[in-house]
Every structure is written in structure tokens, then in C-alpha cells.
Amino acid sequence: MAEVDIGEARRRAERGPLILVIRRFVLIAVSFITLSVLSRLLTPEAFGLSTMAAVILTFGNTIREFGLTKAVMRNAEIDQAEVSFVFWLNLAITVAVVGAIVLASPFVADFYNEPIIQWIVIFSAVGLLVRGAGMQHRSMIHRELRFGTLGTIDVIAVVAALFVAVTVAIIRQDVWAIVAGTVTQSVTEGILCFVLSTWKPDKFAVPKNVKSILGFGFNTLIFSMSNFLSNNISLLLIGRYLGAASLGHFNRAHNLFLIQTSNIIQPITQSALPLLSRLKEQPADYRAAYIGVVSRISLVLMPVAAILCVAPVPITLSILGDQWEEAGIVLGVLAPSLFALPFGYPTGDVLFTQDRTKALRTIGIVEAVVRIGLIVPAINYGIVAVAIAFTVGMIITSIYRMILVGSRGPVNIMDQVKATSVGVVPAMAAAAAALTAVYFLPVDEHSKWTISGAVITGGLGAAFLAILAIRPCRLAFWDLLKNFGLGGLVRKFGLSA
């Protein structure tokens, strides 16, 4: 099986973020259209019902993966026997998990006291099966840093999902629009990964390093299951005790919150794992590559977090519609946790590429204990209290991740702190401009568009000016654009000095 050498990996990694950000612009546009249209056509109850089913499906997907797709990313070199074994094992686990979910669907419906959940889970399991069968092929495309292919797959899948979801929403105006769109996206992605991957599995055979693969998978599974509990305990409890409408509001706010991670952080970090896996024997280059990722995340994410903290309700109402004010309040409470994400989000790549899966397992357990301990008592006080608990837990666990990663290896704690500092002043500038806009603009029933537009444009503009004015920020910005393939443009205007 042919491998991409380090030189080619570097070139693809440098081109990767540009391809990924172009893909993300398309996905953001489609996602916002879907988000805005469906939120106006459907009720909070519909989104709550779909989220109830999504929790059990997410749990099934967590077990199904068993850390196996990461197993082919962790080392600089892999062989065909190892990858083929991972594929067949993944396929067997996927089939078993889908069967278990179908059998468990009546009990899930009883847990929420919503009979329709049984049928939503059964229908959605089709998407889990097809997408799961194609995940090893997607992992190989990713390992080969074929970001253009990944972009094509994702764009086609999300556009197909948009068409199906909106069509069903217009016809039925109920939860099945969301379900149909989600299943369409999963099935389309799974099929395209299989078709467009150049890799094909051999017949099933047990490789010599099977113990290492299963050990890696087990530790990763513990981390993933703990992560699942950490991220979904709030959804489980809200759905069980506060009902579908409250869960719908929390879900919409959480989705707006996740847009920042999926559309800002992922284009920066997605090329990091395959590159770091090839630099693991070169500590200086490894450290520089990781610090660069953290700096770029901080520079972009922190100003966005500041803007969301200032005017979450007008922004939410502008995107989703007038029935989602409570979701806007929840988004405002969740937004501060975005400041902590640069400290913790990329640490998984370090632990994967350094084979520190025991540390990864420890992180997962600690995060689950902290977040569950905060969220369980908060459920008695409503979804805003749950959002507060979520934010506090995110901040605590991100700091813990940073400390654990910095305790060993080429990346230390001060490296990470220094890397994140480049986002602080631009975030302060963005917050000041956003607060000024809110203070001076009139507030009435028609002002949400004006306020949200002024806050976003003013905040981002002020952040950009701060970046240009401060040399460390300017250098980080130069590095960000160079990584996106836009270095020539920045050099032309002298922004790199």
C-alpha cells in the first residue's frame, strides 16, 4: 500500500486548510439555509423529538467506531493487513450496534414517554449503518490528505440533505423533515466515501499487531464514551424531565454554538492529525506545527466568542426566527466556553499521535465526572442553568486538558498559553465594538436585524484592526492566511511585517 511521504504530506497539509475553508464556506451557507428555513417551518417540539432520537444514535456511533478509524491515523506508516482488519472489525461492530439500537428503540421511547421516538430511531439506524460501513474509506481519504475529495463528499451530502429536509418540511411540517434530511446526509456520505476511495480491503485476516490495535481502540472507546456522556447528559436530562420544547430550544442554541467549532476550528485542525503523525519523530517540527494550530484557532475563535457574548438574542432571532428567544438566551450562556476551546480542543491530536491513549482515557473519565456533576443538579432549575453548568464544565476540562498535554512531550503548558494569547486583544476589540453598537442602536421589535448586523460587522472589523496593529497578532494572522494558501496576498499588502 503506497504511502504519502513527509514532503508531500506537508504540501497537502498546507493546501488542505484552503480547500477545507472553501468547503466550509459552502457548508456554512447550506447549513444556515437549512437552519433558518427549518427553524421557521418547524416547532421547537419537532427539534426536541429529533434530538431525543439523535442521542441514542450518537451513542451507537460512539461504540461503533471503537477508536478504529483513529488507529490508521496514529502512525507514520501502516500496512494493508492492519487497515483491512480494522475495516472488517468496524463493519461487524457497526452491524451489531445497529441491531442493538433497533431492539432498544421501544425502551428509548418509553424513557422519553414519546412513542414516535421508536420509529425515528429505527429509520435513522439506516443512516448509521451506511455511514458506518464507509467510515474506514473516509479515514483513508483523510490519511492521504485528499481534502478536495472530502470536500466534494461533504458538500454533495449536505446539499442532498437540505433538499430532502426542506421538501418534507413543506409537505409535513413535522419532525420527519429533520429525520429524512439527516438520514439522507449519512447515506450519501457513506456511499460516496466507498465509491471515491482508492483503497480496497483484503479478505479478513488477523494482523500481528492485533493486540496493539485493540488496546488502542479500547482506550479510545473509553475516552469517546466519556465524551459522549459529557456532551449529551444535558440533552438526555432535558428531554426526560423538561420535555421536547425545552430540548428544542437547547438544541438550536447548541447547534449555533457548534457552528463555531465545525466551521472555524475544523478547517484549521483537520490537516493537523495526519501531519503530526508523520512528525512524531521530529520534536521541534512537531511542537511548531501544534503551536501554530492553537494560535490560529485562538485568533479566529476568541473574537467570535466575544461577539456572541454581547448580542446572542438578536443574532439568534435573525437566524432562526422570532419563536427562538429562549434559544438566544441559552446561546449567550454557552458562548463564554468558546474562549476555553483553544486550550483543549486540539489536545486529542497530540495524545493520538503520541500513543498516549491512557491519558486520553483519563481525560474522558475526568470530563464525564466534572460535567455530569455540574449538570445533574442544574436540571432542576431549567435549561439556562444547564447551559451555565455546561460552560463551567467546558472551562474546567479545557484547562485540565492543557495541563495534562503539557506535562509530557515536546509541547509544554507555557507553549499553549502563549499560543492562545494572540486572540485576547482582538477579542477585547470585538467586544468593545459590539457593546458600542448595542448601546447606541435603538431597541424595538424590528431592531434584531440592525443590531445583529452592526454587532457582527463592527466586532469583526475591530478585531481585524487590532490584529493589524499588534505585531504578534499580525504574524499569527499571516501564518493563518499562509496556511490557507493566501500568503501572496498578505505579502503584497505588507501585513507580514
CA distance 112 to 302: 37
pLDDT for residue 13: 47
**pLDDT given at position 85:** 79
- Would you call 211 exposed, middle or buried from its count of C-beta atoms within 10 A (0-12, 13-18, 19+)? exposed
Phi, psi dihedrals of residue 204, rounded to the nearest 5° = -60, 130
pLDDT exceeds cutoff 60 at 73: no
Give the residue with greater pLDDT, 348 vs 430: 430
Q: What is the DSSP letter of 230?
A: H
* Range among 134-148, 205-219, 256-270, 482-496 rated most confident: 134-148
- Residue predicted with more confidence, 22 or 322: 322
pLDDT digits (tens, 9 = 90+) for 118-156: 999 999 999 989 988 888 788 778 767 677 788 788 889
Residue 222 pLDDT = 72
Q: What is the pLDDT of residue 11?
A: 52
pLDDT mean across residues, the chain: 81
Question: Does residue 458 surpass a pLDDT of 90?
Answer: yes
Taking the C-alpha atoms of residue 448 and residue 118, their distance in angstroms, rounded to an integer, is 39
DSSP output for 472-494:
HHHHHHHHHHHHTT-HHHHHHTT
Q: If you average pLDDT over residues 358-383, what whole number do you get?
A: 86
Q: What are 3-30's pLDDT values in tens digits? A: 444 444 445 445 545 565 666 677 778 8
Give the span between the Cα atoms of 338 and 390, in whole angstroms.
11
Cα–Cα nearest to 181, from 169, 193, 173: 169
Q: What is the mean pLDDT of residues 298-327?
A: 90
DSSP letters, 27-54, are HHHHHHHHHHHHHHHS-HHHHHHHHHHH
> How far, in Å, CA of 156 to CA of 165, rounded?
14
Say which residue, 9 or 223, is predicted with more confidence: 223
User: pTM value?
Assistant: 0.78
Place of cell 475553508: 21
Residue, of 32 and 466, whose pLDDT is higher: 466
Pairwise pLDDT comparison (293 vs 114), residue with the higher score = 114
Per-residue model confidence (pLDDT) at position 327: 93
Which one-letter DSSP state was computed for residue 249? Answer: H
Q: What's the pLDDT tens digit per position in 398-407?
A: 888 888 877 7
